A and B are shown apart, each in its own frame.
Chain A
Amino acid sequence: KAGVTQTPRYLIKTRGQQVTLSCSPISGHRSVSWYQQTPGQGLQFLFEYFSETQRNKGNFPGRFSGRQFSNSRSEMNVSTLELGDSALYLCASSWDPDGADTQYFGPGTRLTVL
């Protein structure tokens, strides 16, 4: 099976712009989670989607949003970008939303905000 894919891999934006990141889960996986990784804060949970519904949300401002499509692909959007949004954004998929199932991560999207 192909792994989790994320596009684009690298992105440079300026403050105030918005950005959309995409994640395609492993075939058959229904749950997609998003994480932000920064040197200062480490890995932080953003949100999780299952069957096109947001099941869980981390402690991030409303500028961070996401959605999931019927084919389980997911997008996350960040509006009004700030310098502090520069990070590696990781997507992870699993078959089932409960904790029994392991999450498999994509390679990440490196976002730089100038």
Chain B
Amino acid sequence: AQTVTQSQPEMSVQEAETVTLSCTYDTSESNYYLFWYKQPPSRQMILVIRQEAYKQQNATENRFSVNFQKAAKSFSLKISDSQLGDTAMYFCAFRSGYNNNDMRFGAGTRLTVKP
């Protein structure tokens, strides 16, 4: 069974600085998708970024980028120029590419951006 591990329960960063959130996963599959979701205090889960396992290039979305290390089964999220609105819980998630439709989530990292 696939598992997702986020080893940092809480992190903080100063506004405008850069922070990296860690995620590792365990799977025997070769075709899968990885996601980072953000859940602010409003509780609405918002997609931050996604990565297809077959793509070697790391995904980027504006200030958000990932470091995808397939062999190491690592999928970290880097937030550049942190903003107060980035304060939220961040969840790493794994989804199989073989029509197994449940998403496996990590326990989450609570990120606080300090002014």
Contacts and interface: CB of A to CB of B under 8 A. Distances in A.
A99 B97 contact: yes
Given A99-B33, A100-B33, A107-B42, A55 B47 contact: no
Interface stretch (A15-23, A42-50, A64-72): A42-50
Interface string A31-52: 1010100000011010010100
Contacts of A102: 35, 47, 50
A45 B50 contact: no
A45 B94 CA distance: 12
B107 A42 contact: yes
Contacts of B96: 99
Q: How large is the interface on A (under 10, 10 to 19, 20 to 34, 35 or more residues)?
A: 20 to 34
Interface in B28-79: 31-33, 35, 37, 42-47, 50, 52
Interface in B83-101: 91, 95-101
A88 interface: yes
B103 interface: yes
Given A100-B33, A107-B42, A31 B101 contact: yes
A87 to B, nearest CB: 12
Nearest to A3: B44
Interface residues of B, number: 28
Nearest to B99: A98
22 contacts: A33-B101, A33-B103, A35-B103, A42-B108, A43-B103, A43-B105, A45-B102, A45-B104, A48-B101, A50-B101, A88-B43, A92-B45, A92-B103, A97-B101, A98-B101, A99-B98, A99-B99, A100-B52, A100-B97, A103-B95, A105-B45, A110-B43
Q: Which 10 A-B pairs have the closest CB atoms?
A: A45-B102, A105-B45, A43-B105, A99-B97, A48-B101, A99-B95, A56-B101, A99-B33, A107-B44, A42-B107
Interface of A: 31, 33, 35, 42-43, 45, 48, 50, 55-56, 58, 88, 90, 92, 97-100, 102-108, 110
